[in-house]
Amino acid sequence: MSSWKDYIRKVVPYTPGEQPKTDGIIKLNTNENPYPPSPLVGLKMKEMSDSGLRKYPDATSEKLIRRLADYHNVGYDQVFAGVGSDDVLGMIFMTFFNSDKKVLFPDISYSFYPVWAELLNIPYEQIPLDSDYRINEKDYNIPNGGIVIANPNAPTGILLEKDKIINIIENNQDSIVVIDEAYIDFAPEGSSCLDLIDKYENVIVVRTFSKSRSLAGLRVGYAISRPENIKYINDVKYSYNSYTLNTCSIEVGSVSIDDEAYFRNTVNKIVSTREAYTERLKELGFNVLPSSTNFVFASHKSVKAIEIFNYLKSKNIFVRYFNVPKIDNFLRITIGTDEEMEKLCNALTEIL
């Protein structure tokens, strides 16, 4: 008996972190920025309410892409923008991962990668992190149909040194290597792989406005690569949905790039809070992996992660717990304001 029900694409979707509907919650579970976006963003939003929502947006997002190209000192034809980096990564998977060989990414990494691979019927292999939760670049010297590395990695927070990424790229000249730099603004200067796109034609760097620019709700992400690669992604995008970014995202995203001083200031605040509270968590008996991001990944020496997670939740403090082998005794804690982190530590002392 054959029926349309036999031909449904059944997938196990990505599970986003919980977005509580109630007030009064200290929300450290989805790596949002605790500070508001640049004041320029608010001004632009007010100005926007009078203007062109009647019309379709600019399908090319030209204004935003020009700002990004100038900001990163690359050509206008080297930037692709999408509805958050999730959209950008999805388009990249669709565009470049059509080989019979497996696409490689770490077993512990952004949990959306295997979901896109499943959705698009892309063969893939998850390469285990080593016992220190680090990527071993030599593990990627095997035949493959593409490589995706989140750097710094999530949810570990650990940065892979640039020379090791260069090794991966040089040893895989027949594959596209995607570097997902969602958290790179929180890493030390010089960690980004953006400059590698001049030297290697198989590299794509992906960035987002969601974390360091405090604009997770706006949904803007982008990719930078060689013009040929950007054209291939655009061809796929225009074959699927031409109006991805809305007018508000284009306008507001553009002005957010202008406020460099504000951006640097909030990023620096988060980095110093991260360093201070990493020490506090260690004093409370946590093993904290070295983070180059706006979150820390920590496990406690005697109390189980799930117990801490549930206790914190009962105190209206949300952190992230992944019930996944190898990391099921860790908590991923987004860096909030100093005040929020202080409340977290106070709650922790009650159960540790």
Report, in Å, the least distance between residue 216 CB and ligand PLP: 5
Name the token pair of 165.
């990424």
Report, in Å, the least distance between residue 2 CB and ligand PLP: 38
Amino acid identity, position 132: D
Cβ–Cβ under 8 Å, residues 69 and 75: yes
Report, in Å, the least distance between residue 225 CB and ligand PLP: 16
Report, in Å, the least distance between residue 20 CB and ligand PLP: 18
Residues engaged in binding ligand PLP (CB under 6 A):
31, 84-86, 110, 150, 154, 180, 182, 208, 210, 216, 221
Name the token pair of 315.
């105190």
Report, in Å, the least distance between residue 206 CB and ligand PLP: 7
Distance CA 299, CA 138 (A): 27
Nearer Cβ to ligand PLP, position 152 or 347? 152
Nearer Cβ to ligand PLP, position 87 or 137? 87
Q: Which residue number has the CB closest to ligand PLP? A: 84
Nearer Cβ to ligand PLP, position 64 or 182? 182
User: Count of CB atoms within 10 A of residue 314's CB?
Assistant: 9
Distance CA 100, CA 112 (A): 21
Nearer Cβ to ligand PLP, position 86 or 185? 86
The helix/strand/coil state of 7 is helix
Nearer Cβ to ligand PLP, position 206 or 347? 206
Amino acid identity, position 102: K
Q: Are strands 221-224 and 286-288 parallel, antiparallel or unpaired?
A: unpaired
**Is 198 buried (19+), middle (13-18) or exposed (0-12) by CB count in 10 A?**
exposed
Nearer Cβ to ligand PLP, position 151 or 172? 151
Report, in Å, the least distance between residue 113 CB and ligand PLP: 9
For residues 245-262, one letter each, b for 16 or more C-beta atoms within 10 angstroms of the residue's C-beta and e for the rest, the string is bbbbbbbbbbbbbebeeb
Cβ–Cβ under 8 Å, residues 155 and 107: no
